Amino acid sequence: MLSIGLKRIIIIVIISLSLSGNIILALNYYFSHASLLGEFSCINSHNNKIINLSQLFINKILRSQGQITIEDRLLLENAVFATQDYETIKTWKNFLASKTEQEAQQNVLDLLKLFSTKIIY
């Protein structure tokens, strides 16, 4: 038989181990959750830049009735470079370098396809 003092020590040790285990699990959960929030924030920022660029492209280029103003072109250029994405910048430069209407139409399709693939779910 175990003495009452030894039983108390065993119970205190078990409770202490359980409590410290819960604290460790809670801290692990907190830090992994904070990491996921940071990752989500980064993805959200990227998606917002791509969506902003695609909306500008549709509104300023595809829906335009005439020449694109210098202000609109600068706005689009800034939106392209704000993505900090090599493929987006390269595809944009290909669009700007279009020599024929058919080449420009193909580059428009490439840009629209790129916008849809760059959005992260």
What is the token pair recorded at 41? Answer: 């924030």
Domain boundaries, the chain: 4-118
pLDDT for the residue 103: 94
**Whole-structure pTM value:** 0.67
Q: Which residue has the tokens 């430069």?
A: 93
pLDDT for the residue 106: 95
Radius of gyration over every alpha carbon of the chain, rounded to an integer in angstroms: 28
What is the C-alpha to C-alpha distance for residues 84 and 45, in angstroms, rounded to an integer?
A: 12
CA dist 107 to 43, 74, 97, Å? 26, 19, 9
SS3 state at 77: helix
Over its length of 121 residues, how does the chain's per-residue pLDDT go in tens digits? 668 788 888 889 899 999 998 988 888 888 787 776 777 777 888 889 999 999 999 999 999 888 889 999 999 999 999 999 999 999 999 999 999 999 999 999 999 999 999 887 7
pLDDT for the residue 1: 64
Under 8 Å CB-to-CB from 112, ≥6 apart: which residues?
A: 54, 57
